Amino acid sequence: MHYNGPMRLTWIRTLSLASAAALVALAASACGGTPVDLQKALKVDQVSTGWHNDGVVDGKNKLVPSLTFTLTNQGTQALGSLQVNAVYKRVGETEEWGTAFSNVAGSGGLAAGATTPAITLHSPLGYTGTEAPEQMMQNHLWVDAEVTLFAKYGSAQWTKLGQFPVKRILLPK
């Protein structure tokens, strides 16, 4: 039999694709295998927004938008590998301004009926200025922000849970 290099490469590539498909199937079964509608299963509670004083950066005061909330699992199964992502935008703009990500529940998951402790997500981007933080929010160049909260369970796609205006208030430290 004659050895054909490219044929061997094709066999390895096919084996790799088959292995990848098996891993995806295994991961789906490890997450319960049952699709979960996060918009129905998760309730966003105790939402508060405002501007977090991120301290002095390069000699200027820095304020960043912030979101604090809890999640309640209203579903019938534990939600393992639950993650959230906050996407901040300035009002009237379509481009993302900043994001903040957090793992909510690891392999143990968020049990059915359970509520998370308060989760706070600050944008890494915000405003800097030489004025006092309270005065910065009164500047005529200030543009308000909004935040959209997404959640992801296991290997599923990100699901929008809600959109919230960021109040023009300075949050306590």
| Residue 6 in tokens | 């490219």
Local confidence band at 156 (pLDDT 50, 70, 90 cut-offs): confident
- CB atoms under 10 Å from CB of 55, counted, come to 10
In sign, the C-alpha dihedral spanning 38, 39, 45, 49 is positive
pLDDT score, position 17:
42
Local confidence band at 3 (pLDDT 50, 70, 90 cut-offs): very low
How far are the Cα atoms of 64, 97, 130, 138, 167 from residue 135, in angstroms, in the given order?
14, 22, 9, 5, 15
Beta bridge partners of 11: none
Give yes or no for residue 34 having a pLDDT over 90.
Answer: no
Average predicted confidence (pLDDT) for the chain: 84
Specify which of 8-12, 14-18, 167-171 reaches the highest per-range mean pLDDT.
167-171
Check: pTM over 0.75? Answer yes or no: yes
| Residue 37 in tokens | 């509608």
Mean pLDDT, to the nearest integer, of 163-173? 95
**Sole residue written with tokens 């990500």:** 101
Count of all residues that appear for the chain in the document: 173
Radius of gyration of the chain (CA): 22
Give yes or no for residue 20 having a pLDDT over 50.
Answer: no
Mean pLDDT, to the nearest integer, of 72-97? 95
DSSP assignment string, 22-50 = HHHHHHHHHTTSS---HHHHEEEEEEEEE
Domain 36-166, classified CATH 2.60.40.10, yes or no: yes
- CB atoms under 10 Å from CB of 100, counted, come to 21
Domain parsing of the chain, residue ranges: 1-30, 36-166
